[in-house]
Amino acid sequence: VIQGIFVTGTDTNVGKTVVSAALMVRYRAEAPLKYWKPVQTGIAHDDDSREVARLARVGEIHERGVRLQHPVSPHLAARLEGTRISVRSLLDQLDGDVDAAGDTRWIVEGAGGVLVPINERETMADLIGALDVPVLIAARSTLGTINHTLMTIEVLRRRMLRVAGVVMVGEPNDENRLAIEKYGAAEVIAEMPRFDPLTPDALEGWARTSFDPGGVLFVGCLR
């Protein structure tokens, strides 16, 4: 099996891809990293692998994965295209590369959140379980995030999956951060501001100074 971090979110569109790019920028000097998006729906308009390559200015992307046209949940996009995804078929996309890569640390980005279905029976949580890597949760910083983040943490822990921490995206909100740490018994690793514009330079400047300066995630998940 692999070593690395699985980046999930409390929802779609919360910032998983930007957080993944920040992880690449932050830790690539400390470990050989590779980004992987196992399932991408709406590929014509949404290509997270390409966005990570742009933002992190890296070529360390594992290009293989299930790519579907419809911008909907994986279970539905697959059905609409007359195919079926499974945890097994997703793991197959890694075959060969894991051995060849040796000590590569994988930054794996999920689709949507933890209970997003990939077929009639399996969800993203089953993929996380099969990969057996700690999970970093991208969450909004704004109202509503306490509930969504605590639900995500609870689902992960109920399935014996490891919570590496939370990255809150958007205008920092101290009370929301404290509530997540207290009620979720999880660490908020970083508060990522909205970059305007979102450029590789802006992301790198922030990641180098403010993203896990103590290296907690590195020690816990990537070493």
Ligand X SMILES: Nc1ncnc2c1ncn2[C@@H]1O[C@H](COP(=O)(O)OP(=O)(O)OP(=O)(O)O)[C@@H](O)[C@H]1O
Applying CB under 6 A, which residues contact ligand X? 9, 12-18, 46, 48, 112, 138, 169, 192, 194-195, 198
- Report the distance separating Cα 71 and Cα 77, nearest Å: 7
Asked whether position 16 contacts Mg ion by CB under 5 A, the answer is: yes
Residues in 33-62 that interact with Mg ion by CB under 5 A: 48
169 binds, among Mg ion, ligand X, none (CB under 5 to 8 A by kind): ligand X
Query: Closest approach of Cβ 138 to Mg ion, in Å?
Result: 9
Output 135 or 138, the one with its CB closest to ligand X: 138
Output 17 or 145, the one with its CB closest to Mg ion: 17
CA distances, 135 to each of 50, 82, 163, 188 (Å): 22, 31, 5, 13
Say if CB 134 and CB 164 are below 8 A apart. Answer: yes
Query: Closest approach of Cβ 175 to ligand X, in Å?
Result: 20
Asked whether position 212 contacts Mg ion by CB under 5 A, the answer is: no
Geometric angle at alpha carbon 5, from 19 and 112, rounded to 5°: 60
Q: How many residues at the interface with Mg ion, by CB under 5 A?
A: 3
Output 160 or 209, the one with its CB closest to ligand X: 209
Query: Closest approach of Cβ 143 to Mg ion, in Å?
Result: 22
Per the structure block, which two tokens stand in for 94?
């890694």
Query: Closest approach of Cβ 113 to ligand X, in Å?
Result: 8
Single out the residue of 26, 34, 105, 28 nearest to residue 65, CA to CA: 34
Q: Is the dihedral of CA 184, 26, 135, 7 positive or negative?
A: positive
Asked whether position 17 contacts Mg ion by CB under 5 A, the answer is: yes
Output 1 or 44, the one with its CB closest to ligand X: 44
Active site residue 16: no
Give how far the C-alpha of residue 24 lies from the chain's centroid of Cα atoms, to the nearest Å: 11
- Report the distance separating Cα 221 and Cα 163, nearest Å: 10
Residues labelled catalytic:
37
